């Protein structure tokens, strides 16, 4: 019985480790996950976690105790706690994601600096911080005079051609 529990624990734990490493590090879910609850914890990972932890705990209790009923009750409880803890960990990891998609409209009312001089009536380049990254955008000035390189600016609007309209601050 103890040998069978060892094999169950090792096989389930190994499969779980492979699935978790693929999904956390590689972003791959391999379409093996069927979302069952609001946490997004897949049924396959839940079952593997439950059987792996339960088998190890039952094995340890059987080695130290002679009562198999107590061993299986304690193992089931430990498996349930393990599934709950895994769901909390995965929920935390998923909450750390951020949206890196951006559009030129995210630059409105953002401050930045002139990267390439903006001549009066002409175009230049500005650097604006959009969603945590410096972006270079084509710019045209609202002012009637040149805006030199390095001057602080604020983006006022987006032109119909996608070029930002800026004014010096």
Domains plus CATH for the chain? 2-95 (no CATH), 104-168 (2.40.50.140)
**pLDDT bracket for residue 49 (50, 70, 90):** confident
Least confidently predicted of 59-73, 85-99, 113-127, 142-156: 85-99
What are 5's two structure tokens? 């529990």
pLDDT greater than 60 at residue 32: no
Query: Which pLDDT score, from 0 to 100, does residue 96 have?
Result: 79
When pLDDT is averaged across residues 14-30 and rounded to a whole number, the result is: 73
**C-alpha of 2 from chain center:** 39
pLDDT greater than 70 at residue 28: no
When pLDDT is averaged across residues 86-114 and rounded to a whole number, the result is: 85
Of 55 and 91, the one with more pLDDT: 55
For residue 104, the 8-state DSSP code is: G
Secondary structure element (H or E) that encloses residue 126, with its range: strand 123-130
Residue with tokens 């987006």: 158
| Cα angle value 146/147/153 (rounded, 5°) | 145
When pLDDT is averaged across residues 25-44 and rounded to a whole number, the result is: 52
Closest by CA position to 73, among listed 56, 54, 86, 46: 54
């Amino acid at each position: 019985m103890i040998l069978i529990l060892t094999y169950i624990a090792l096989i389930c734990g190994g499969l779980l480790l492979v699935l978790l490493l693929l999904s956390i590090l590689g972003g791959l879910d391999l379409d093996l996950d069927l979302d069952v609850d609001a946490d997004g914890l897949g049924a396959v990972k839940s079952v593997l976690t439950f059987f792996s932890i339960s088998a190890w705990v039952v094995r340890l209790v059987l080695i130290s105790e002679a009562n198999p009923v107590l061993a299986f009750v304690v193992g089931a409880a430990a498996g349930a706690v393990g599934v709950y803890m895994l769901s909390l960990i995965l929920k935390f990891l998923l909450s750390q994601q951020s949206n890196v998609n951006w559009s030129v409209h995210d630059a409105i009312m953002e401050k930045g600096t002139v990267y390439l001089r903006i001549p009066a009536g002409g175009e230049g380049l500005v650097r604006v911080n959009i969603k945590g990254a410096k972006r270079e955008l084509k710019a045209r000035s609202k002012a009637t005079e040149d805006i030199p390189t390095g001057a602080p600016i604020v983006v006022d609007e987006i032109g119909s051609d996608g070029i930002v309209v800026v004014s010096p601050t």
